[in-house]
Amino acid sequence: MHAFRIGKLFGIEIRIDWSWLFIFVLLTWNLFVVFSGWHPHWPQFEQLSVALVASLIFFGCILLHELAHSFVARRKGLQVRSITLFLFGGVSNIEHEPPSAKAEFLIAIAGPITSILLGVGFLAVTVASTGVSFADGETATAAYAKLGPGQTLLAWLGPINLVIGLFNLLPAFPLDGGRVLRAILWGLSGDLRQSTRRVSAIGRLFGWMLIVMGIAMTFGVHIVFFGTGFASGLWLAFIGWFLHSAASQSYKRLAVDDAFAGHTVQEIMRRDGPTLSPDTSLEVLVHDYLIRSDELAFPVVSNGQLVGVISAAEVRGVPPAEWRATTVGKVMRADKRSAVAPDEPLAHAFDELARQNLEQVPVLDHGHLVGMLRRGDVARWLELGWSHAAQYTGRP
């Protein structure tokens, strides 16, 4: 996901994927139409303002849902790097799978419980602050028409949070309910991989069911609870496709982690590779290193310490006529935060390469350069060991 950072909460980085902007605008417009039907006498500016606030609070509730997962994960000793809001809600970036079935259960159930409690709370405040009743044949539209702006927000936020909480409890991996089911199966069998395979299959089946129902709805078939219509059917099919894809990818990721298990960076890193001095000219770098080597980047070392990394990307920013007069030290990347340690788990290092979209990173042992880890080398190593992971993914 291509996301941008908006800040931190409790030490957890909060990010927003670009797809979130689409769903935010779509939800706000949909609520504007709904609130216009509830309150046709309100000025359009007021209808739109309440819709905008409702959307912001709704995604605030989604964030609380994810924070609940993150807080419990931290209590169980797991690192939570970030929370990202995207097209289908939110996701917590937890470093690896929970250490036990009990931890998995508590982490997974925390989100839906939070959403359900929010829903019940909003509804309780709505009932306590209004005299709205559906007695004497009063229609829902007539009841909603009596509500003010704040009460309208509460009346919508209550049911929608209940829907979010209950939907996430469906036993379809990777929804929270699927993870709860996996925790139960894991606890009973003691086999995480087998349990994951079973709930992943259920998740894929559930995804196909939504896809079929969505397509049927686009052709006018009325589905209980979901209704009918082209737009609604298309959206339901899209959700089904997402769940099917997510279930498959989550399981493959677990298989990859299993292939990486017990292996560290020092097994794959390239030792004794070429290094450069900050005083090396770009002309020497290009003709003696980049052209004559398959290395994509080179570490820059001064007095035995890594001071930066130089690659073809930095060279491309300098006109060829200036290569002789320009030194590596002037254009190198001085940011060393992407460096990894030789004893770091290979899975973590591979995630870092993918997260920062880097082809290789330096390997430092107490500040001293001991090698370079290349994404291509890790991928080749993984391919050679994929037969072990294939028994879990079904790959031939």
- Going by C-alpha positions, the residue among 360, 238, 350, 369 that lies closest to residue 301 is 369
> What is the C-alpha to C-alpha distance for residues 88 and 27, in angstroms, rounded to an integer?
12
pLDDT in tens, the chain (396 residues): 467 788 888 888 888 888 888 888 988 998 998 888 888 888 999 989 999 999 999 999 999 999 999 999 999 888 887 888 887 778 887 777 788 999 999 999 999 999 999 999 998 888 887 765 545 455 666 777 778 888 889 889 999 999 999 989 988 887 899 999 999 999 999 888 888 888 888 888 988 998 999 999 888 888 877 778 887 888 888 888 888 888 877 777 776 777 777 788 888 888 877 888 999 999 999 988 888 887 778 888 887 788 888 888 888 888 999 999 999 889 888 765 578 888 888 877 887 777 677 777 888 887 778 888 888 788 887 777 655 444 443 333
Residue matched to tokens 């390997």 = 363
Query: Is the N-terminal amide bond of 396 cis, ω within 30° of 0?
Result: no
* Residue 235 one-letter amino acid: W
Please check whether residue 219 lies inside any domain of the structure: no
> What is the C-alpha to C-alpha distance for residues 102 and 119, in angstroms, rounded to an integer?
26
- Going by C-alpha positions, the residue among 326, 301, 302 that lies closest to residue 314 is 326
> What is the C-alpha to C-alpha distance for residues 119 and 5, in angstroms, rounded to an integer?
28
> What is the C-alpha to C-alpha distance for residues 241 and 145, in angstroms, rounded to an integer?
38
Q: How many domains does the chain have?
A: 2
Q: What is the structure's pLDDT at 69?
A: 93
> What is the C-alpha to C-alpha distance for residues 185 and 21, in angstroms, rounded to an integer?
37
Residue where a domain stops, chosen among 112, 141, 169: 169
> What is the C-alpha to C-alpha distance for residues 289 and 320, in angstroms, rounded to an integer?
16
Question: Per DSSP, which regions of the chain are E strands?
Answer: 3-9, 12-17, 80-86, 89-94, 297-302, 305-311, 360-365, 368-374
State the pTM of this model.
0.70
> What is the C-alpha to C-alpha distance for residues 254 and 257, in angstroms, rounded to an integer?
5
Dihedral sign computed on CA atoms, order 185, 186, 187, 190: positive
Please check whether residue 199 lies inside any domain of the structure: no
What are the tens digits of pLDDT across the range 190-243?
Answer: 888 888 888 888 888 988 998 999 999 888 888 877 778 887 888 888 888 888
Q: Are residue 30 and residue 163 in the same domain, yes or no?
A: yes
Q: Are residue 17 and residue 151 in the same domain, yes or no?
A: yes
> What is the C-alpha to C-alpha distance for residues 345 and 379, in angstroms, rounded to an integer?
15
Q: Are residue 145 and residue 270 in the same domain, yes or no?
A: no
Q: Are residue 15 and residue 161 in the same domain, yes or no?
A: yes
Q: Are residue 10 and residue 153 in the same domain, yes or no?
A: yes
What is the domain-level CATH number for residue 296?
3.10.580.10
Question: For residues 360 and 296, is the Cβ–Cβ distance under 8 A?
Answer: yes
Question: For residues 72 and 66, is the Cβ–Cβ distance under 8 A?
Answer: no
Q: Are residue 56 and residue 161 in the same domain, yes or no?
A: yes
> What is the C-alpha to C-alpha distance for residues 152 and 61, in angstroms, rounded to an integer?
17
Q: Are residue 155 and residue 294 in the same domain, yes or no?
A: no
Q: What is the structure's pLDDT at 51?
A: 93
- Going by C-alpha positions, the residue among 83, 82, 89 that lies closest to residue 23 is 89
Q: Are residue 160 and residue 299 in the same domain, yes or no?
A: no
Please check whether residue 204 lies inside any domain of the structure: no
Please check whether residue 198 lies inside any domain of the structure: no
Pairing type for strands 80-86 and 12-17 reads parallel
Please check whether residue 20 lies inside any domain of the structure: yes
Could you tell me the residue range of the domain that residue 137 belongs to? 3-169
Half-sphere exposure of 230 (CA within 13 A, CB side): 0
Backbone angles phi, psi at 270, to 5 degrees: -90, 120
> What is the C-alpha to C-alpha distance for residues 385 and 350, in angstroms, rounded to an integer?
15
Please check whether residue 102 lies inside any domain of the structure: yes
Please check whether residue 146 lies inside any domain of the structure: yes
Q: What is the structure's pLDDT at 67?
A: 93
Residue where a domain stops, chosen among 169, 188, 209: 169
Q: Are residue 42 and residue 154 in the same domain, yes or no?
A: yes
Residue where a domain stops, chosen among 145, 169, 193: 169
- Going by C-alpha positions, the residue among 253, 272, 271, 274 that lies closest to residue 350 is 253
Q: What is the structure's pLDDT at 1?
A: 47
Per DSSP, 256 falls in state H
Please check whether residue 189 lies inside any domain of the structure: no
Question: H-helix or E-strand containing 173?
Answer: none
